Structure 1
Amino acid sequence: MTTSAMETAVEVEQRYGFDLIDLETVRYGLIEIAREMNDTLTRGSFSPLARDIRDCTSAVHMRTENGWEMLASHEGCVQHAFTSPHIVNFTMSEWDESTLREGDVILVNDPWRGAIHFSDLNVLQPIFVDGRLEFVLHSTSHVADLGGPIPGGFANGAQTTFEEQLKIPPTLLYAGGVAVRPVFNHLLENNRTPNLLLGDVRALAGSLSVGASRLNSLFERYGLGHVRASGEYAMDLAEAAMRRGIATVPDGDYVITDSLDEDAIVAEEITLQMTLKVRGDSMEIDYSGSSRQPAGNVGTAWIESTRAIIGTKFILDPASPVNSGTLRPIEALLPPGSIVCVLPPSSCSSHTETGSRVVNMMTQALSEAMGARGIACDTGTSGVAVIGGVDERPGHEGSPWGSFAVPGGGWGGTWTSDGVSACIVSIAANCRSAVNEHVERESPLVIWEHELMPDSAGAGMHRGGAGAIFTIGAVSTTVITITGDRSRSGAPGSSGGGRGMPFYGWLLRGDGSGSTLDPRRAIGAEPLFGVFDENGEPDPDKGTFGLGTTYMGGKVSQLVLQPGDGIRLIVGGGGGWGDPLERDTERVLTDIDDGLVSESFAHAAYGVVLDASGAVDEDATAMRRRDLARLRDQNKWSVPTACPPAWNTATIMEVAS
């Protein structure tokens, strides 16, 4: 039963048995508990994953007639809040509750028990009231390492879970508040960076302790009945808000097909298909028609039952908090043995690209359904780099280390505004890139460059957000694994908008030939992946995918950098919304002045002509736009994919040969 926005305070009190003001107070109190848990986790973590990137979430769950339901969450990485109910329900249904006692903490990271991938550690603490198990607190964080062939997970090339990190079924981590030493030993002795892991696990457990203290204080002040009623009220509010949003979408079946570039094993595209069925104030997400589970590690388990809902939430109900009520109006159908529901022991460590694409597909489906109120896709790839090695610097010799880089791309343009630049994909919304100064202090790396990429945003009446250039140099022998997609083609636009720039990568050798910080001057840089022409220049519209590159896609495993070598990644921007020939010329000029758009791309994509003084020649622009529109009507012109038209890559083919 949901709470209508029109209900009076009297009606609310009749339904829940408590005064509206007190219900609201406790509802926000539950959110603050989750927030304080998450703040404790980020402040106490040792690795950059939770501390800087905020790849973590905390949540409060309550036992109900529907199982365990999430009352409140505070997310760093938004996808964790949507998968948290799975983790708690799978784990608690398996555990013998009669054995649990105050201070116990359960550890689990199994994707087939609701987790995302092995790199995310989940800790659960049961909360008893008058001797009965009533609540469960949950915190999760990506950790820097958990064994396996590649530091930090994302084991590109792995085909089974046996080739990956430690798989942990529900396991007692703390018994009555006391650490279970054999479990800690097992974790630490199968780890490249045990000092980071120990700090992160203690921070996870500490967040639960803080949550338990705050929740017990809430019981003491208001009583169990009041807290339970407030939890039900909170979920009903979230459900009502989501249903109101869905009700604005016209009924219908909206079919979207997209693809992943490859799976790091077979250089073939992998099909993803989604049918969004909207009926009144509810919807169904059906993945039938998607490819069978791949040989490589890009498939996912249970998480795709909820991750597409992230797109729904952002577009239809961006304001209300996320809890189990958010999920109630939506059902998902996952074909077993498909890319979105792989069966064990298939590897699913590189989950980010499938998840990013699923949210892109939901964005496209809702844009099709809502017409002029649609939005364009975000960059559609995480472009994450997992980096590690054994330090060779004086004073650090022999020390294992690990680090992460999430360069960030762009979000799509909308019917009201341009997209946001340098943002991580929406499944990880609220996450940030690593703090570059911390990376340089803690790792033998130098961040040569991290800034917005010119001409990377999809053109449109409202352009997409710009993507990022990220260039790092190695000070010590370094092993790097890159997990990305959208290297065949960039993020799609909406309502006539253009695509964002695809994902590109280059290797910069230590002789200094490729060390320039101008990404368009790539002399001496060796292309790793992307779409290139016969001269070795990026050309997403007329070039060939993989021409002259080392890899057939953006999933690079265990590339060794010697001191002085570097890696440059360009993560494309979001798609554009609307006809770019209708973009206000002054906004185009502002983008040129800000360095986001070059004059040549403005001329090619927006039809904007500048005079000798650098101002817009409005008459010449109007004439060119009419000419381009006429050519488009004759199918002789289309909006070019975002990419700098001019490159200086004269010696790339010589290096490659």
Structure 2
Amino acid sequence: MTIDGPTLDLIENALLNVRFEMDEVVRRAAMSPMIREQHDEFPMVCDRHGRMVVGQFGSYIPGIVERLRGDVRRGDVILFNDPYLSQGSITHCNDWCVVMPIFFEDRHIGFSSMFGHMMDVGGKVAGSQVNDATSIWEEGLRIPPIKIVEGGVLNRTALDVILNNSRTPDMNESDLMALIAGCRTAETRVIELCTRFGADPYEAACAALIERTRVALGALVRRYIPEEPVTFTDWVDDDGMGNGPFRIVLTVWREGDVCHVDWTGTDAQAPGTINFRINDGLCKLFFGIYLIMAFDPSILFNDGVRDVFDVTLPEGSLLNPRFPAAVSNRLNVHVRFFDCMSGAMGQRAPDLAMAAGYGASPYFVFSGTDDHDRYFQFVELLFGGLPGRQRGDGLDGHSWWPLFRTTPVEYTEAHYPVRVTRYVPVADSGGAGLHRGGTGVEKTYEFLSAGVFTINDDRAITNPWGVAGGRAGGRGSKLLVRADGREVPLPSKVDNLAVEPGDRFVFRTAGAGGWGDPLERPAERVAADVRSLIVTPDGARDDYGVVVDAGGAVDDEQTAALRTRLRERRGGLAPFDFGDPPGRPERFDASVVA
């Protein structure tokens, strides 16, 4: 049946509200800081075919239902986390996903689903994100699609087995029940919509919303994607085992309304844990959201993007590893995926051009036993600089995922034997440009109890590149300061490093590249950055040609003369600035810091 415009708008906005209500229910019910504080969870509402109508990451449901041979009934809740059995829809074992069928009266009307990052799922290190694993067997418990709730009855035996393999069973159980509660919220709201409008109009609206996205994205592809193939290459530092840098190659072109995305030339899968097991559907969705956010955020993000893209993912590569390759730190490749998209598409479509960002999902895990003989495990994601772009400066110390939040210092210090003694932007880490790249952050943790910590980051030996004359952003770095004052530089990837009370750890993330000629940036904006401690006076002079006095004011005469000299010395603008030559990957050696 057809659906009229006003009814379609009402159902669309109701479903968008459902999606945000799911988020809020989960955050209020979850226990772990990963979900409760940092919001590492993703909801979606799908039609009865399993196609995402509203959400973030796109539907994996058809493959999951197929594995269950179509046996999905009212009151069931499906749980899984296996990257290979889910065909790359879930990309590492920490992400537990629940799927719930929705019935209106006796009619199957759709699905709700959520996945969230669990604190710990077993494996060889606390937090389950291992740097030196060589197979997924070392990364924690793999859960195939199972009915954790069947016909409304919890499968307690299965849940006990699963929780018995985690260092944080109470938090995992709480977070799992929160995800289920979020899905039940969607179930309630969809039933209300069907009661109000009818099941047939509801299904017609879902189909119309998906088709509308397909048509709108087709128009963006025709406008912004060139017919001539364009190729771009970027690099991931290392895999934590001394191997790297690893090359990622993307070629993009258009045929009619279809954008072809070809990753041929990307390096073979890594021995370590940075492999990104992505399926072609998820790849299409990432390209779709890139175009939507760049040009028309009013377009609803859903599975309508699938018909607009054609994807080639070479088997056995970093982006399509063969089982049982390790994948727990796949976000280093995942985020570089976005940099490659910008680098390729921006060459022929300047409106798409933006620089590279901080290029990872930096995380820190500190665990041990406190003074009351209780096990603790603190997990935190850190953020870095987002790219400078044609529309303006990059964001400072921000997440790639828009809804993520930093963990409040008050929460950290109230619940864990950790004191945060410093949390500031890293000056001059944002690449200079007409529009400056975002800065990285420096966060210093003082340990109040003995324990071990694990870290993973990237962009420590490669720079986030600048574009259209913009400069490369600053690299990240790590430093352990022992209680006796001894300083020990660390690589970006470390497992199970022992620390004692009074030791401090300085975690600096990378910035982002700049966009456009830094000598064209208004001098007063540079001075404002100096006053905000985002740019140093030396950086203002050397990178922007702006002379700032001790009071933070611009010296106009000296600035004009300096900019003239710098323009003459520099010559033309380079399309990309990749910064300093890459360093050599380093494998962590615990004996060096013992």
8 Å CA contact retained: 1:605, 1:640: no
Cα distance in 1 for residues equivalent to 2:283 and 2:274: 16
| Closer, same or farther: CA 411–288 of 1 in aligned 2, 3 Å | same
The equivalences for 1:341-352 within 5 A come to 341-352=320-331
1:241/1:317 contact within 8 Å kept: no
Which of 51, 62, 77 is the equivalent residue of 1:105? 77
TM value normalised by structure 1: 0.84
Tell me how far apart the structure 2 counterparts of residues 656 and 192 of structure 1 sit (CA, whole Å).
26
Using the TM superposition, give the Cα deviation of residue 242 of structure 1 relative to its aligned residue in structure 2, in angstroms.
Answer: 2.2
Corresponding residue for 1:386?
365
Question: Aligned equivalents of 1:386 and 1:197: distance in 2?
Answer: 16
Per the TM alignment, residue 196 of structure 1 is displaced from its structure 2 partner at its CA by 0.7
Aligned residue type for 2:232: I
Q: State the one-letter code of the partner of 1:589.
A: A
> Hey, what's the Cα distance between the residues in 2 that align with 1:429 and 1:556?
27
Following the alignment from structure 1 to structure 2, what is the Cα–Cα distance between the partners of residues 495 and 159? Answer: 39
Cα pair 2:103 2:191 within 8 Å, conserved: no
Distance 1:239 1:402 in 2: 44
**Does residue 252 of structure 1 match 2:228?**
yes
Aligned to 2:584: none
- Does the CA-based 8 Å contact 1:375-1:577 persist in structure 2? yes
Query: Per the alignment, do residues 357 and 640 of structure 1 end up closer, same or farther by CA in structure 2, a change over 3 Å counting?
Result: closer
Counterpart selection for 1:527 from 489, 497, 507: 489
- Residue 454 of structure 2 corresponds to residue 481 of structure 1: yes
CA distance in 1, matches of 2:305, 2:12: 15
2:445 is aligned to 472
User: SS of the residue aligned with 2:393?
Assistant: coil
User: Which structure 1 residue ranges, 5 or more long, are not aligned?
Assistant: 1-15, 74-80, 514-523, 530-553, 643-654
Which AA in structure 2 matches 1:587? R
* Aligned-pair CA distance for 1:505: 0.5
Whether the 8 Å contact between 2:465 and 2:578 is mirrored in structure 1 is no
Paired position in structure 1 for 2:239: 263
SS of the counterpart of 2:346?
Answer: helix
Q: How many correspondences in the alignment? A: 575
Alignment partners' CA distance in 1, 2:18 and 2:211 = 19
Contact 2:518 2:544 in 1 (8 A): yes
Identity of aligned residues (%): 29
Q: TM-score, normalised by structure 2?
A: 0.92
Compared with structure 1, are the counterparts of its residues 617 and 232 closer, same or farther at alpha carbon in structure 2 (3 Å cutoff)? same
1:496 aligns with 2:496: no
**Structure-1 separation of matches of 2:217 and 2:515:** 25
**Structure 2 residue corresponding to 1:453, chosen from 426, 431, 435:** 426
CA drift of 1:353 comes to 0.4
- Asked whether the 8 Å contact 2:469–2:573 carries over to 1, the reply is no
Q: Distance in 1 between matches of 2:536 and 2:188?
A: 56
Distance 1:310 1:30, change over 3 A: closer
Matched, 1:305 2:283: yes
**SS at 2:388's partner residue?**
coil
Q: Aligned in 2, Cα 1:231/1:487: closer, same or farther, shift over 3 Å?
A: same
Structure 1 residues 507-542: Cα deviation after superposition (integer angstroms, max 9, x where no partner): 01122x3xxxxxxxxxx432113xxxxxxxxxxxxx
Distance 1:198 1:579, change over 3 A: same
Trace 1:148-297 onto structure 2 (pairs within 5 A). 148-249=123-224, 250-297=226-273
CA-to-partner distance for each residue in 1:44-73, whole Å, 9 max, x for gaps?
000011111111011111134xxx210112
- Report 1:72-151 matches (<5 A): 72-73=54-55, 81-82=56-57, 84-85=58-59, 87-98=60-71, 100-112=72-84, 113=86, 114-151=89-126
Partners of 1:479 and 1:558 within 8 A in 2: yes
Q: 1:605–1:639: 8 Å Cα contact kept in structure 2?
A: no
Pick closer, same or farther for the CA change 1:509–1:21 going to 2, 3 Å.
same
RMSD: 2.3
Contact 2:269 2:319 in 1 (8 A): yes
Tell me, in whole angstroms, the C-alpha distance in 1 between the residues paired with 2:551 and 2:324.
Answer: 64
Letter in 2 for 1:526: V
Contact between 2:22 and 2:183, CA under 8 Å: does it hold in 1?
Answer: yes
Residues in 1 aligned to 2:536 and 2:475: alpha-carbon distance in whole angstroms: 17
More divergent stretch after superposition (359-368 vs 241-250): 241-250
- 1:348-380 CA distances to partner (integer Å, 9 max, x unpaired)? 110110011000111112221222652222211
Pick one of 542, 558, 562 that aligns with 1:624.
562
1:32 alignment counterpart? 17
Provide Cα deviations, 1:192-231, integer angstroms capped at 9, x if missing partner: 1111111111111111222212211211121111111110
Shift of 1:93: 1.4
1:431 Cα deviation after fit: 0.9
Given that 1:270 and 1:291 are in contact with CA atoms closer than 8 Å, whether structure 2 keeps it comes out as yes
The partner residue of 1:415 within 390, 398, 402 is: 390
Aligned partner of 1:583 in structure 2 is: 521
* SS in structure 2 of the partner of residue 421 of structure 1: coil
